[in-house]
Structure 1
Amino acid sequence: IAPSTCLERIRLLRERGVIRGYHADVDLPSLNRGVRALVTAQVRPLSRAVIDSFQRSIADLPEVLSVYVTAGNDDFLIEVTTPDIDALHAFLTDRLALRREIVGFRTSIVFRHLRKTTLEPLP
């Protein structure tokens, strides 16, 4: 298609909120973040105020990349990056374990991460 047509389509997608922004694909080890982990957490009491407060405060921590509120056995999925395993352990014990609203958490170390760069239409 012509460049002007492409630009117009992109402009319309941005206006409709389909395209919400543009992001750099950053190599985390280059920023001294060689360890990535997924942490699931359960909080109590389970209320909107506790969920909203926990989500905001956890998202502000420098080790946290993403915070997901989930359904099922766990209330949150937190994506964390640290320089090394010792720093991850310190994050878990000094930042998470001391929080009164957390009743439990589990950590999974990520060995590899693959992210799709294009989305195909669904049937």
Structure 2
Amino acid sequence: MFRLDRTDFALLRLLRKNARLPNKTLAEKAGIAPSTALERVRRMHESRTIQGYHAEINPAAIGIGLQAMVVVRLARHSRAMVDSFHRHLQGLREVLAFYHLAGADDFLVHVGVRDSDHLRELALTAFTEREEVAHIQTQLIFEFRRNTELPILRPPDP
């Protein structure tokens, strides 16, 4: 595993809040030289500590008027069924994110749709008509906020 120290954690916290910080600003805020910041960020990319950068898009700007979480319980638990459903979810344009779970439910799927009619149609065609699916439950999302604070749960390496 890639070893992270206090400086790496500082860089990660800054990038989590604003991934578009210029390297010079990033280095200044972390209290290190720009060349050091550049090299450390490069190393974190190579080690897959940093896995990518994402733009936060206003859902309404792209036609999403309603978001929901769909809880899915599979009919059976087999590698083939889980893999098949996983591939299915990746192919749905309305799926914003999904989680494969342990416990009574198997998947939690975050979807973005135009309106309630679109959600109903998606629930029927993309979920209830699938042979893998035994049960779904849909919950509307009134508001979504991403936490930009980084919950670092282990001490930095010396």
The alignment yields a C-alpha RMSD, in angstroms, of 1.2
Deviation at 1:59, TM superposition (A): 1.7
CA distance in 2, matches of 1:45, 1:60: 21
Sequence identity (%): 39
CA distance in 2, matches of 1:100, 1:50: 9
Q: Which has the greater radius of gyration?
A: 2
* Match of residue 66 from structure 2: 35
More helix by share: 2
* Match of residue 142 from structure 2: 111
Question: 1:64·1:80 contact (CA, 8 Å) conserved in 2?
Answer: yes
5+ long unaligned stretches in structure 2: 1-31
Q: Which moved more, 1:94-103 or 1:105-114?
A: 94-103
Question: 1:59·1:65 contact (CA, 8 Å) conserved in 2?
Answer: no
More strand by share: 1
Equivalent positions of 1:1-123 (< 5 A) are 1-122=32-153
Aligned residues: 123
CA distance in 2, matches of 1:90, 1:122: 41
Superposition TM-score, scaled by structure 1 size: 0.94
Letter in 1 for 2:58: D
